[in-house]
Structure 1
Amino acid sequence: MGWLEGTTALVTGAGSGLGHAIVNRYVAEGARVGVLEIDRSKADALTNRFGDAVRVTVGDARRYDDNLLAVEDTVAAFGGLDVWVGNAGLWDYGTSVDALPAAAISDAFDEIFSLNVKGYLLGVKAALPALRDSRGAVILTASNAAFWPGGGGPLYTASKHAVVGLVKQLAYELAPDVRVNGVAPGGMPSDLRGPRALGLADTSWSSLPVDDLMKEFSPLGRAIAPADYTGHYVLLAARHESATVTGSIHNCDGGIGVRGRPTTA
């Protein structure tokens, strides 16, 4: 029997990368999973792969109505909702303040914060009645950039620091009915994109030498796959295994904070 037998979860941004790995692991652990995914081709691929174990809603995590529809679809398909996972996000590709065009900062900021922060808040708001009914849990994807500089530029890093604040405030407000925690992974192969305002909407993180970068930056000296992070999401979703945990951020970034990022010549 898996850790999540009898559990229903909803994951945003699950068409590829970490979100897809979370869905795969949750299903393997016995969960039934709803998904909110903006890309229809990725949504169709999820349905084809997982069949009746997954209910996919095509929509934008930045819109409250789409979040609400995903919750309603998930509850209608599986009878309730126990775990809401905010995972959809954008990266700024490490664009420094010097490199940011002044004319693009406002739009790029709005794009990144709209998905990385506001999208989480909208999703929690939409899911809250169902989560209160089940005395469930919220899990938000943070990042190594939520703790350390260098995991992105100022836009992304600020957005992920905001996620830490959101976890703590929501955990404070929603206790004792709903547990709220975060997971802070490091780099991994992913289809993570950047803001359109910086010309990065069609640039995929997987186009970079991710495995080499992780081997260089991590004290563990190894490439890290999305599946390597999913155990933290299972633990925080498992009611009996994490019953006392709320307001925490599970930092699993490969140990970047142990020695920092190596200097370059």
Structure 2
Amino acid sequence: MSTLPQTAGWLEGDVALVTGGGSGIGKAVALRYLAEGAKVVILGRDQDKLDEVIAGSPAAQNMLGIAADVRDSEALQHAVGRTVEHFGKLDTLVPNAGIWDFNRSITRLSAQELSDSFDELFSINVKGYLLTVQAAWPELVKSRGNVVMTLSNASFHTAGGGPVYTASKFAARGLVNQLAYELAPKVRVNGVAVGGMNTDLRGPESIGLSGRSIADSFARSTITGNNPLIPLHDASVDPTDFTGSYVLFASRRNSGNITGQIIQADGGIAIRGFGDKAAGGDAL
């Protein structure tokens, strides 16, 4: 009996750094990259959580966990240096660490809460992305590498969050375009705008939402009710099912001529909308 030839993964021999890699879509992307042949560094604020991900991976020797906050530029510079020291180079950067505002409407925020949540959320979701790219771009130039940013359906549409989160994701969408322009031709920059999924994504500490996660707060039916593909693709609220677009963008062989593009991997939310799930609801 003949057998099919064994083929290498799409990212064989590459090295990737994923922020927010201790849970959710960051963890899923890191493990998918590992399965595609890459060596992967995961970055997050909780070293124990990172160590747990690595211990449970099928190739722990090809992973490294680094505790750092994406708001700390020196820590990010150190993380990139350790990545190169440990694995020899950096091919793919995934700015992914973020927080959500749990659809907190402007009608439900005091002036101080609005100011504080804006500062915290933008410092992670926007400045964190910029600082991460700033730390990594010289190494990406050397490898002719790429950046794959995690965006959201809220980067394009209303009601995927409140005004603060939506503004942050529109800003990150702008970063894809601007950084693709600035870093061409040596570094490609693309994004994946994911839809609602079952993750541990948390809220701003400044308004008391850091202990709340999407997984705890929303039933599966709440997320899937707006998703046209769910009836046929029931697992598509699992982060693992969002990782294919990240692999495509990271692959030189399969997307070496693509930059400044965003895949809306939202399960079809954009064509159905959120209906009465809007942030304001009946607040007025």
**Does TM, scored on the shorter chain, surpass 0.5?**
yes
Aligned partner of 2:162 in structure 1 is 153
**Cα distance between partner residues in 2 of 1:72 and 1:210:** 41
Aligned partner of 2:262 in structure 1 is 249
- Answer yes or no: is 1:39 the counterpart of 2:52: no
Aligned partner of 1:48 in structure 2 is 55
Give the TM-score taking structure 2 as reference length.
0.91
- Answer yes or no: is 1:5 the counterpart of 2:12: yes
Is the contact between residue 142 and residue 184 of structure 1 (CA under 8 Å) also seen in structure 2? yes
Which amino acid letter does the alignment assign opposite residue 208 of structure 1?
Answer: S
From 80, 93, 102, the equivalent of 1:84 is 93
Which amino acid letter does the alignment assign opposite residue 124 of structure 1?
Answer: V
Matches within 5 A, 1:18-29: 18-29=25-36
- Residue 151 of structure 1, CA deviation: 0.4
Q: Which has the larger displacement, 80-89 or 33-42?
A: 33-42
Aligned partner of 1:214 in structure 2 is 223
**Cα distance between partner residues in 2 of 1:43 and 1:173:** 32
**Cα distance between partner residues in 1 of 2:219 and 2:23:** 15
- Answer yes or no: is 1:70 the counterpart of 2:70: no
**Cα distance between partner residues in 1 of 2:38 and 2:219:** 30
Q: What secondary structure is seen at the aligned counterpart in 1 of 2:200?
A: coil
Matches within 5 A, 1:167-178: 167-178=176-187
Cα RMSD between the aligned structures?
A: 1.3
Structure 1 runs of 4+ aligned residues shifted over 4 Å read none
From 95, 110, 122, the equivalent of 1:101 is 110
- Residue 210 of structure 1, CA deviation: 4.3
For residues 126-180 of structure 1, the C-alpha deviation after alignment (integer angstroms, 9 at most, x for no partner) is 0011000001000110100001100000000000000110000000111001000
Q: Which has the larger displacement, 221-230 or 86-95?
A: 221-230
Q: What secondary structure is seen at the aligned counterpart in 1 of 2:254?
A: coil
Which amino acid letter does the alignment assign opposite residue 142 of structure 2?
Answer: D
Q: Work out which of the two has the higher radius of gyration on C-alpha atoms and give 1 or 2.
A: 2
From 30, 33, 43, the equivalent of 2:37 is 30
Matches within 5 A, 1:107-146: 107-146=116-155
Taking only the aligned residue pairs, the percentage that are identical comes to: 50
- Residue 20 of structure 1, CA deviation: 0.6
Structure 1 residues 210, 89: CA separation in 2 closer, same or farther (over 3 Å shift)? Answer: farther
Is the contact between residue 15 and residue 42 of structure 1 (CA under 8 Å) also seen in structure 2? yes
- Residue 259 of structure 1, CA deviation: 2.2
- Residue 263 of structure 1, CA deviation: 3.5
Uncovered stretches (5+) of structure 2, i.e. residues with no partner:
1-7
For residues 61-108 of structure 1, the C-alpha deviation after alignment (integer angstroms, 9 at most, x for no partner) is 111111111111111111000000000000000000000121111111
Give the TM-score taking structure 1 as reference length.
0.97
Aligned partner of 2:275 in structure 1 is 262
For residues 37-82 of structure 1, the C-alpha deviation after alignment (integer angstroms, 9 at most, x for no partner) is 1012212212322321111111101111111111111111110000
Is the contact between residue 47 and residue 66 of structure 2 (CA under 8 Å) also seen in structure 1? no
Uncovered stretches (5+) of structure 1, i.e. residues with no partner:
none
**Cα distance between partner residues in 1 of 2:183 and 2:21:** 25
Which amino acid letter does the alignment assign opposite residue 209 of structure 2?
Answer: L
- Answer yes or no: is 1:204 the counterpart of 2:213: yes
Aligned partner of 1:60 in structure 2 is 69
Q: Which has the larger displacement, 77-86 or 60-69?
A: 60-69
- Residue 256 of structure 1, CA deviation: 1.3
Structure 1 residues 189, 82: CA separation in 2 closer, same or farther (over 3 Å shift)? Answer: same
Structure 1 residues 254, 4: CA separation in 2 closer, same or farther (over 3 Å shift)? Answer: same
Is the contact between residue 83 and residue 131 of structure 1 (CA under 8 Å) also seen in structure 2? yes
